[in-house]
Amino acid sequence: MSDKKLIEYRREYLAGELLEENILKDPYLQFSYWLDEAILSGINDPTAMALATSDASGNPSVRIVLLKDARPEGFVFFTNYQSRKASELDDNPRAAVMFFWPGLDRQVRIEGKIEKISIGESNEFFRSRPVGSRIASIISPQGEVIPARDFLEQKFQEYSTRLDDENIERPDHWGGYILKPKSYEFWQGRENRLNDRIQYVLLDGRWGISRLAP
């Protein structure tokens, strides 16, 4: 660890502001605007989001996944349906995601209900993936204990030599989910930690907007 104390890592947030008179009334459109700005800024992995789930007993877990589609009804990501996150979503189909764009001093938190997307949509996305990624989805028992790295390398080589591109079909244990938002929170870092926080909550089919204290 560095000799520098952790409390010394501090900077002021001076990249912008988030005011009620400038925000869009539709949170999906506001998110799309911010995501476009994150992509155009050139920061690494602007579509990376932390996905938080919990099991039936309320024990939480969180990991980074990649946003693969965004539309007014929700946010789509893909994973192994036999993974820990999938098991937790079976027990408790509610989750939260968070995007963090440090170069813009921004984050977005979204909470809602999660459902599996259609088989057809999962198939379509799977076919769009690079060959190596498709093979990895087939051979990897995601989250399970394996004997060594060689276990994966050998299985990957075996499938690579046995299958051609046209025969690599989506396995039943892999597919997509969509998070359907019930709330959004947009956070813009500000000087002196007086950060802007704007919350959208869905009530009776309409989005209510309020400001939260930092």
CA angle 62, 117, 143 (to 5 degrees): 35
Residue in this structure with the two tokens 């693969």, named with its chain if needed: 68
The pLDDT assigned to 111 comes to 98
Give the 3-state DSSP-derived string for 129-185, with helices as H, strands as E and coil as C. CCHHHHHHHHHCCCCCCCCCHHHHHHHHHHHHHHCCHHHCCCCCCEEEEEEEEEEEE
Instruction: Reduce the DSSP state of residue 145 to 3 states and report it.
Output: coil
Domains of the chain (ranges plus CATH)? 9-129+174-212 (2.30.110.10)
| Cα–Cα distance for residue pair 143/57, rounded to 1 Å | 20
**Structure pTM?**
0.93
Tell which residue, 80, 109, 78, has the closest CA to residue 96.
109
- Residues paired with 200 in a beta bridge: 184, 209
Catalytic pick from 127, 193, 206, 211? 193
CB 98 within 8 A of CB 112: no
Residues of the chain with pLDDT under 70: 1, 165
Q: Which tens digit of pLDDT belongs to each residue from 107-145?
A: 999 999 999 999 999 999 999 999 999 999 999 999 999
Nearest Cα to Cα of residue 170 among 203, 137, 207? 137
Q: Is 129 a catalytic residue?
A: no
Output the pLDDT for position 174.
Answer: 97
Looking at residue 159, what is its pLDDT? 86
Q: How far does Cα 47 stand from its chain's mean position? A: 7
Q: What is the β-pairing status of strands 106-116 and 94-101?
A: antiparallel
